[in-house]
Amino acid sequence: MDYKRDNSPIAAIPPVALENAFDRQRSELPEDAEVLDRLFRYIETTRPLMAEIKAAVCEFYHMDASLLEGRQRVQETALARQVFYFLCYRYTRFSSLQIGRFIGRDHATVLHGLRKIEGLLLTHQLLADDIDLLRLRISEKMLLRKASQC
């Protein structure tokens, strides 16, 4: 499945493409476009960090972060790792290569995990519910980070 050509509702624009589009738009802004500049800054700062996603996934699946980064291939660990890939790819600006480097994997492994989770989401409602709960936990971590910055 090619992520750039897939028109399914689950497929998203790759984060790198969004980042490039924002950068191009920013360079074309007139000097007095303060409102748009604030909007761009808001969008940049409201993305979760990979560390926040990792912490939420580890808490949710009751596992240590070292298990998520480890080489263990137990089904529960592998599923948590693939959910981590999925959430990072969808909600951060990082590519599969950057996500893989963060957790000690290569980009092909990350892409396999993305495809696996996307396929499971079509048939397993329980996994979709778990990911919704994880999104809420990640949002909570983002709000805590924002509150501590103020």
Q: Which amino acid is at 75?
A: Q
Residue 7 domain flag: no
Structure tokens at 31: 């000097």
Q: What is the CATH number of the domain that holds 65?
A: 1.10.1750.10
Cα separation of 54 and 149, whole Å?
20
Predicted confidence at residue 2, as pLDDT, reads: 44
46 versus 134: the higher-pLDDT residue is 134
pLDDT confidence bin for 9, thresholds 50/70/90: very low
User: Do 81 and 140 sit in the same domain of this protein?
Assistant: yes
What Å distances lie between residue 36 and 21, 45, 47, 48, CA to CA? 14, 14, 17, 21
pTM, full prediction: 0.71
User: Do 117 and 140 sit in the same domain of this protein?
Assistant: yes
pLDDT tens-digit profile of 103-143? Answer: 999 999 999 999 999 999 999 999 999 999 999 899 888 88
Range 45-60 average pLDDT: 90
Percent with pLDDT over 90 in the chain: 47
- By the 10 Å C-beta count (0-12 exposed, 13-18 middle, 19+ buried), 114 is classed as buried
User: Do 105 and 75 sit in the same domain of this protein?
Assistant: yes
Predicted confidence at residue 127, as pLDDT, reads: 94
Domain extent for 116: 49-149
Range 33-58 average pLDDT: 79
